[in-house]
Every structure is written in structure tokens, then in C-alpha cells.
Amino acid sequence: MSKLDVDALQAALRRFADARDWEQFHAPKNLACALSVEAAELLEIFQWLDEAQSRGIRPGHPLHECVAEEIADVQIYLLRLADQVGVDLDAAVRRKIARNEEKYPPEKARGNATKYDRL
Amino acid sequence: MSKLDVDALQAALRRFADARDWEQFHAPKNLACALSVEAAELLEIFQWLDEAQSRGIRPGHPLHECVAEEIADVQIYLLRLADQVGVDLDAAVRRKIARNEEKYPPEKARGNATKYDRL
Amino acid sequence: MSKLDVDALQAALRRFADARDWEQFHAPKNLACALSVEAAELLEIFQWLDEAQSRGIRPGHPLHECVAEEIADVQIYLLRLADQVGVDLDAAVRRKIARNEEKYPPEKARGNATKYDRL
Amino acid sequence: MSKLDVDALQAALRRFADARDWEQFHAPKNLACALSVEAAELLEIFQWLDEAQSRGIRPGHPLHECVAEEIADVQIYLLRLADQVGVDLDAAVRRKIARNEEKYPPEKARGNATKYDRL
């Protein structure tokens, strides 16, 4: 059973930053920048692949470890940012999933992903 | 104690996508796009604030709920993407933290955030 | 013949910012944030489309005007940022195209877009 | 007088892609991904700097050439994308500047950059 121990990881990341005197750089704004940068590094792996090729990136694929590492980078900055702004990650995710359930009723959303009715 | 129940959340998100026939849209490439888009929506909140103002966004601040919701969106797509590519989020994060400990020894990294020695 | 009058547009954008007292917000860092945010808004239009569908977005397509507007937003922030850091846009582009010609010789690059040999 | 010769540059980029058989990768969706990735590489240079430091990046600064190159990358993908979707860059920019003039009247926008009245 995979769980993310948010408290322990955030404490570890806090110690990591403190030991390097990086707390001064970890303003929420800067962490939001770093998060976008890491999300883009993840996207870079996929940019020239088509959807079908991207579905082939499973354990054992030559790009899998690379994807895992970029996913970890995004998760690390997200944990750090949530810590700095005092957001309870688990509560925020549960609240948002509940809101999405209301916002996109299955019968209306079925097979239609253009949330802005752009098409 | 805050924990993210990765397995349960990924199962819930899988059911959410299935119920809307959205699995067809959730190729890893598309989820990586969506993740970048959500990271940018989070960044948008901070773009005209300076670092000090961004440090003021704590519980009770008028922008706090907004930040919490965007953080949740990023986390949700990250959970979904990790599920689709078969990455164990907790293991990947722990591995990366260990690698960062080696890569940035405290004595060398102290107070210096320019990881590429660009300055 | 379509040309972008960089000097005139940058002067117009400078006046636009001055008239609103927005020069204070237009530090290069903030403009780089805004540029990433606008690039993501452009990406958002494409996120659930496949490559073939995206090739169909030509003049007359219901999403065309939307794409044009987001492209303009990216161009506007890029002009403004280049102005603030003193980069000659035309010279920088020509220099980079020349560098790319050397870096990716046609015979070696043919049909291979994985610039990092990740596959 | 600096002008960007959009037609000539787009023709050069078309020949560049053709000579490498990269046209197959240059679907608008993929170019929008690449544009976001390049915008993030530009942002990465600024992520740990504060606004004042970022204003110091002018010609002669050790990071200036680096910024110029990333700006060029964004401009190149923007030219290529505009070409692929048939957007007239100059017309789109002029239209958007006119729209912004209406949307943000100087007297109301003065010194206030929170376009969503989030604060």
C-alpha cells in the first residue's frame, strides 16, 4: 500500500533547505516558479511523442526512470510549497475531488473533455 | 498527521475518469500537458507579487484558498499521471531526496541556489 | 509581407505600462512568469486534442481565434521582456537559427526529434 | 530599427524542419508543448533571483546571453506555431493590444496589477 507521508517528507525537506541555508530562496513565489519549471521538464520528455507512444512508457521502458525522476521533482516542490503556505495537501485534494464530482456530472461529461465547450 | 493515501486516491481518480469515459483522454502526454497548465495557474497567482508578499499567503489570507485549490489540481494530475505510467510516487520521492542529499552537500551548497553556476 | 515592427511595438507596450503605472510590476522575473502562464493558456487549448486534431486548427476553425489571441499574449510578453533586458529580438533569433543549423546537421537529425537521445 | 521579418523567418524555419524531416513532429499541439518548455527554461534562469536582481540582467551581465538564447527559442517556436495554424502574428498582436487598451482603462488600472481583483 503506497502512502505519501506528507508530514515526514515536509520535515525532511525543511531540514534539507535549512542545512543549505536555502530557506531564504524558498518564498512561495519562487517555489511556484520551480514547480512550473519541473512540470515543463516532465512535459519535455513527451513533447515529440504521440499519445499512443506516451502510453507505452511503463516500467521497463527506456524513458520510465526519467519520467519517474521528473515526477518526483514536481512532487517535492509541491510538498515544499504546500508547507510554506500552510496548505494541508490531503484535505485540499479531497475537497477538490468532491468539487469536481459536482462540477462534472458523469452523464453530462461523458466522453467530452473540452471543459470550456471550446469545440 | 497528514498522509496522502496514494492508492486510494489513484483508485478514486481512475473511477472518476472511467465514469466520464475520460480514460481515452488521459494518455501520459496529455496528463503532462494538464499538469503544466495547472502549475501555471498556480504561478499566475504569484506573478505580480514580490517574494515577501508571497510569504504572506498563509491560512486566512484572501488568496490562500485559491492557492490551496491550484495546489490540489497539480497534485491530482500528478497522482493520475504516476498511475498511468506506473510510477510509485513515494519510492520515487524518497529516491530523489537521497540523490539530492548527495548532489548538494550542505557545505558546498550553503546559501547558493544557482545550481548551474550561472552567476 | 508580414513583419513585426519590434521597436514600435515595444514603444507602444512601454507607454501602455507607463500609463497604468505597471512598470513597477514588469521586472524581467515577473515577465518571465507571465510568459510561462500565457504559454500554458495556449497549451490548454490543445491538451485533450490529438496531434491530427491540432493540425486541423486553421483559419475558420472554431478554436482558431482563441489560439490567435493566446499566441498574441505570448508575443506581447516576449516583446516586453526583450525590451526590459535589452535583447535584440531579431539578432537573437538569427543567431539561434544559425546555431541550430550547426547543432542538428540534416543528415544526422533526419526524422529523429529526440534531441537528447532519450529513446 | 529592429523588425522581425516574420515571413522570411517562417520560411527559413519551414526549410529547416523539412530538411530534417521534422515536419511530422511539428503538429500545433507539439509546438505548443515545446513553447511551454522553452518558456520554462527562460523562467528557470530567474527562479531564485528576486525582482531587483532580475532587473540587473542587462547587456554585459553574465546571464544576459543565456536569457537572449532562451528568448530566441521561445520566439522561434512561436513563429513556427503561428505558421502551422495560419495566424498572422503582427495582426494578432495589434488586435490584442487594442483590446487590452479597452479592457484596462489607465485610470482604473493605475498601479493595480491584480487583473482578477484577487487581493
B75-79 mean pLDDT:
98
d(CA D112, CA D104): 10
| The pLDDT of residue D118 | 38
C-beta atoms surrounding D117 within 10 Å? 6
Please write the tens of the pLDDT for every residue from C61-89: 999 999 999 999 999 999 999 999 999 99
| The pLDDT of residue A116 | 42
| The pLDDT of residue A111 | 82
Q: Angle between the D64-85 and D89-103 helix axes, to the nearest 10 degrees?
A: 100
C-beta atoms surrounding D111 within 10 Å? 9
- The CA dihedral of A62, A68, A69, A74, to the nearest 10 degrees, is 140
ipTM of the complex: 0.94
| The pLDDT of residue B106 | 92
Q: Would you call A33 and D46 a contact, using CB atoms and an 8 Å cutoff?
A: yes
Provide the H-helix boundaries in C1-119.
Answer: 6-19, 28-46, 51-55, 64-85, 89-103, 106-109
D44-48 mean pLDDT:
98
C-beta atoms surrounding B11 within 10 Å? 12
Please write the tens of the pLDDT for every residue from D1-42: 789 999 999 999 999 999 999 999 999 999 999 999 999 999
What's the mean pLDDT when you consider all of chain A?
94
d(CA B66, CA C93): 38
Q: Would you call A19 and B106 a contact, using CB atoms and an 8 Å cutoff?
A: yes
Q: How far apart are the CA of B38 and the nearest CA of chain C, in angstroms?
A: 8
φ, ψ for residue A89, nearest 5 deg: -60, -45
Q: Which one of C13, C93, C109 has the shortest CB-CB distance to D72?
A: C93
Which residue out of C24, C44, C49 would a mutagenesis test of the B interface target, given it has the greatest number of B Cβ atoms within 10 Å?
Answer: C44
d(CA B84, CA D99): 41
Please write the tens of the pLDDT for every residue from A79-113: 999 999 999 999 999 999 999 999 999 988 888 76
User: Which region, left, alpha or beta, applies to residue C111 given φ > 0 means left and ψ of -120 to 50 means alpha?
Assistant: left
pLDDT reading at B117 higher than 70: no
φ, ψ for residue D45, nearest 5 deg: -60, -35
Q: How many CB pairs under 8 A join B and C?
A: 35
Please write the tens of the pLDDT for every residue from B40-57: 999 999 999 999 999 999
| The pLDDT of residue A117 | 40
DSSP summary character for residue A27: -
| The pLDDT of residue A114 | 60
| The pLDDT of residue D2 | 87
- pTM score, whole prediction: 0.95
D75 within 8 A of C50, measured Cβ to Cβ: no
